[in-house]
Amino acid sequence: MRKQLGFIGKVSAAILLGSLMSMSTLSAKTLKLAYDADPVTLDIHEQLSGGILQLAHMSFDPLVRWTKDFKFEPRLAESWERVNDTTVRFKLRKGVKFHSGNPLTPADFKWTFDRLKQSPDFKGIFSNFTDLNIVDDNTIELVTDGPYPLVMHTATYIFPMDSKFYTGKDESGKDKSVIVKNGASFASTHLSGTGPFKVTSREQGVKVVFERFKDYWDKDSKGNVDKIIMTPIKDNQTRVAALLSGDVDFIAPVAPNEFGQVESNDKVNLVTMPGTRIITFQMNQERRKEFKDPKVRQAIVNAINNPGIVKKIMRGFATAAGQMSPKGYLGYNEALVPRFDLAKAKKLMSESGYPDGFSVTMMAPNNRYVNDEKIAQAVAAMLSKINIKVDLKTMPKAQYWPEFDKRAADIMMIGWHSDTEDSANFYEFLAMTPNKETGKGAYNSGNYSNKFVDETTMKANKETDPKKRAAMLQAVEKQMYDDAAFVPLHWQNLAWAARKGVNIEPVVNALNFPYLGDLVIE
């Protein structure tokens, strides 16, 4: 018996060694990538989501892109300057080609801009922009309806599409440029961009294969990946297992529960980074008169031990927050630290006339944010200490959003990532007085309303001096902090893992679009 086992061991070792060797020669420059989902479409204007922006960075190039420390890096724009209050001029890179072979021209930018204005998902971001003017063969101008501080932020969303390729009629006689949400279109199944990778084959939900574009303009890039096989692996544990067993080279996201397994393995590297998505609870002042009293809201914020949640539930994989803006954003106000003081919370409850507390309903999703259900349960338990009895209901996100839109509970969870990577976006969606016509406060289920917050946010969106603007945005944070407008919990961290030799550290960023074109595999 023992002899047999020894034999099996030797054979398996030989097989293992053989497969390892064949792997290293075969996949020298091939990256096997596993995300939790694959892009839902090839049309980068169809949906504004992380998956689509990741695709945009792989197969297209933006005018400018974010660096790790939230600065702008030239891509298709070589340089830029502000001409006047409403105009920014971009000098374009020369000699850039699309995958189809067509040269990139200013007309492609104009075409892309017009299409973005048509896209239900992107038109909101571009609502302050009136025109894209072609000045000459390699100069364009972006024009806004008034002074606008976020021109460069928005320029990160302009990935020129190949206008010649996307113009005309497809086989079924439909316009190639049309954006279709609930069905196939030419643009959702064909792609021609200027980016480092061409899409060579794609089976929705199974895999997407990319190949490096031979005529890619960025010859200075050290990136050496020739081929990317992107596979969606939905299950967190399976995704980690696929990496640890060597079936894939690079995975994201990595769930906090799997960190131990990844860190203890010496064949793989784990890279984490503070993220910019804020997780909060909102207290509905329209449903509950108690929440109209700032003291009650303050008591709730003080009763919730969010540093404890970060430590125990998130396993350190988050940063406890006292405000909406993460560090690095203009609105980040250093003075606003997390509050947790149970004694003070109890005192505030007595002062406001609710020493015996009251009962509330709470809702949270259970598959949207990292550990969302556990966080909600912990918060419910913490509120019981100030005699607030919580009736908690959690549900999958598909069911949660309709409930959120109905404002179906007294306390509701909401996480937010700012599309512009700017503080004002948080305030516009989460804190400004809800207004159906302007669309402001669309996710302010607490119905918090403060004139100073409303006005200062709008003023900040017309202020082009970064210093003055920062002061305004930070004043808004302070106001919300003092009002206990919402319950800040934490900013989720981001995590990626790759086998050793795949140098992901330099290409990942807090925006969660690894710049795979620059990825180096040793």
Give the footprint of another protein on this chain (CB under 8 A): 12, 15-16, 19, 40-41, 47-49, 120-121, 123-125, 180-184, 188-189, 203-206, 231-235, 237-238, 241-242, 244-247, 367, 396-399, 401-402, 405, 416-417, 419, 425, 429, 436, 439, 442-443
Q: Which is nearer to another protein, 150 or 507 (CB)?
A: 150
For residue 156, give Cα distances in angstroms to 57, 121, 217, 392: 10, 15, 18, 40
- Retrieve residue 248's tokens: 């894939």
- Burial track 204-214 (b if 16+ CB lie within 10 A, e otherwise): eeebbbbbbbe
**Residue from 9, 18, 7, 30 nearest 521 by CA:** 30
Largest CA distance in the chain: 85
Nearer to another protein, 38 or 410 (CB): 38
**Shortest distance, CB of residue 421 to another protein, whole angstroms?**
13
Map residue 100 onto helix, strand or coil: coil
Do residues 421 and 66 make contact, with C-beta atoms less than 8 angstroms apart? Answer: yes
Q: Find the shortest distance in angstroms from Cβ 157 to another protein.
A: 12
Nearer to another protein, 104 or 278 (CB): 278
Say which amino acid occupies 482: D
**Measured from the CB atom, is 194 or 425 closer to another protein?**
425
Nearer to another protein, 13 or 381 (CB): 13
In single-letter form, the type of residue at position 350 comes to: S
Which lies closer to another protein via its Cβ, residue 77 or residue 125? 125
> Residue 108: helix, strand or coil by DSSP?
helix
Tell me the closest approach of the beta carbon of residue 399 to another protein, in angstroms: 5
Q: Cβ 343 to another protein, closest distance in Å?
A: 38
Minimal distance, residue 437 CB to another protein, in Å: 9
- Alpha-carbon dihedral 155, 157, 163, 169, rounded to 10 degrees: -150
Q: Which is nearer to another protein, 14 or 107 (CB)?
A: 14
Tokens matching residue 50: 């992380």
Q: Which two tokens stand for residue 28?
A: 């020298």
Residue closer to another protein, measured from CB, 260 or 439: 439
Q: What are phi and psi of 272, to 5 degrees?
A: -125, 160
Cβ-based nearer residue to another protein, 140 or 502: 502
- For residues 258 and 410, which CB has a smaller minimum distance to another protein in the complex? 258
Q: Name which of 336 and 432 has its Cβ closer to another protein.
A: 432
Neighbours of 518 (CB within 10 A): 17
DSSP H helices, 255-341, are 259-263, 294-303, 306-312
Give the C-alpha distances (Å, rounded to integers) separating 468 from 137, 198, 259, 473, 522: 36, 43, 42, 9, 46
Q: How far apart are CA 372 and CA 323, in angstroms?
A: 19
Q: How far is the CB of 8 from another protein (least distance, A)?
A: 10
**Smallest gap, in angstroms, from Cβ of residue 348 to another protein?**
33
| Shortest Å distance, C-beta 470 to another protein | 23
Compute the least distance from the CB of residue 133 to another protein, in Å: 26
- Angle among Cα 251, 257, 263 to the nearest 5 degrees reads 60
Q: Which is nearest to 514 in space by CA: 280, 191, 228?
A: 228
Please tell me the distance from the alpha carbon of residue 216 to that of residue 193, in angstroms, as a whole number: 10
Q: How far is the CB of 490 from another protein (least distance, A)?
A: 19
H/E element holding 361?
strand 359-365
End-to-end CA distance of the chain: 43
Instruction: State the nearest-atom distance from the C-beta of 366 to another protein, in Å.
Output: 12
CA distance 358 to 287: 14
